[in-house]
Amino acid sequence: MRNLIPLLVTFGILILLDLYVFKALKVGIGGWEKPLWRNTAIYGFWITTILGYLFLGYMMSAFGRTAPSHINYYPFFMSFGLALLIIMPKIIVVIFHGIDDLTLLLRKLIGSFTTGDSTGNVISRWDFITKIGWAVAAIPFISILYGISKGRFAFRIEKNELAFDHLPDSFSGMRVVHISDIHIGSFFDNHEPVVAAIDKINSLNADIICFTGDMVNNIASELDGWVPVLSKLKAKHGKFSVLGNHDYGDYIGWPTDAEKAQNLETLKALHGEMGFKLLLNEKVDFNSPSGDSIEIIGIENWGAGGFSKYGDLKKAMAGSDEEKFQLLLSHDPSHWDAEVLDHTKIDLTLAGHTHGMQFGIEIPGMIKWSPVKYRYPRWGGLYTEKNQHIYVNRGFGYIGFPGRVGMAPEITVLDLKRA
């Protein structure tokens, strides 16, 4: 019963919304002369509306099910994506039609509302704004459709050059390739785009590859069939990784605690099979042929605002030398503000987690915006405070919504230089 109430409330709100959108539809097609066109629009509206209810109902009923040995995320994610494809344009129509109705009400109140001449040659402002709303609604529809079909695979390479005062000369020119949030279970059996992305990464000639967590959505077995593919990632001097919040299996039910613990141990072992040095609240000295060294530190997930806090930075940095150049891998960027910035001398932190919400608008030099900024002020790209830097990768994969709109999956290149 407790799960049924949110479902009923959600559908009640959607039914009211759809009745209002249907009212706007009748305004929008009011000038259509052919009954066939009008009937096609009306039947098309209700058919897609019912499909939206079915997609959303399936998604909500499937959420939080106890974990089997392997989860097929495809119907869950695609149901969410298709429901969003149907619902988001309607929200735009509601806004524009609401402006129309408010305008109508105000004009009636002041006694100056007119609908145009008797011949119908002059379109009223009421009709005009609603019809504009239907045209504008095409923008989220096309954007979401592209994001699902193409956007989630349109990998973008982001290149940055960073200079540091005390980076050893022998490390000047070191290339770090940073990836995060693979969420491999979301790719289902779709190997081709992942292989293409790996080829892009390998073409970058990385000195090291750093992966900052969320290899899977929940379960280690999502990597079945993928280990040989991801093992092809190449770096001249090593691959380093940490765990993200999704890697612990915290978001699904497990029959026993022992099975959950075994899932995590399996995932840790698979990192090794793929050639990653998994850093679990520990550091390694990374040496150059000339004998210089830097520290690579990796912590388990630590996130503000209710996310798991398995990370232990003090433990990871035990015995560290703060005079050395330090590179930290930490999945959640909120950790940087809480425990790194002004608390340590760590030069560069790499993080992920936010995905850029898989939605946003980015025009270099002009605008950089995503709704996730209101939850994570440091959500994508490079941020610098004094002499400390954090780079937040926008994510390789996706979860929930099976697409990316204006927020391409990212492969980050960081070329480190001696200042």
Q: Which long-range contacts (CB under 8 A, 24 or more apart) does 37-44 make?
A: none
Q: Is 174 helix (H, G, I), strand (E, B) or coil?
A: strand
CA distance 144 to 402: 10
CA distance 213 to 181: 6
Domain boundaries, the chain: 4-148, 156-418
CA distance 148 to 142: 10
CA distance 150 to 145: 8
Tokens of 129: 């704004």
DSSP per residue over 175-228, as a string?
A: EEEEE----GGGGTT-HHHHHHHHHHHHTT--SEEEEES--SSS-GGGGTTTHH
pTM: 0.91
What is the third-level CATH fold of 156-418? Purple Acid Phosphatase; chain A, domain 2 (3.60.21)
pLDDT given at position 3: 62
Conformation bin of residue 357: beta by default, left when phi > 0, alpha when psi is -120 to 50: left
pLDDT given at position 296: 98
CA distance 324 to 328: 12
Q: What is the mean pLDDT, run by run of 10 residues, along the chain of 419 residues? A: 71 91 90 89 93 81 55 82 92 93 82 50 64 94 96 97 95 97 93 97 98 96 96 98 97 91 98 98 94 96 94 96 95 98 97 98 93 97 96 97 97 97
Half-sphere exposure of 331 (CA within 13 A, CB side): 30
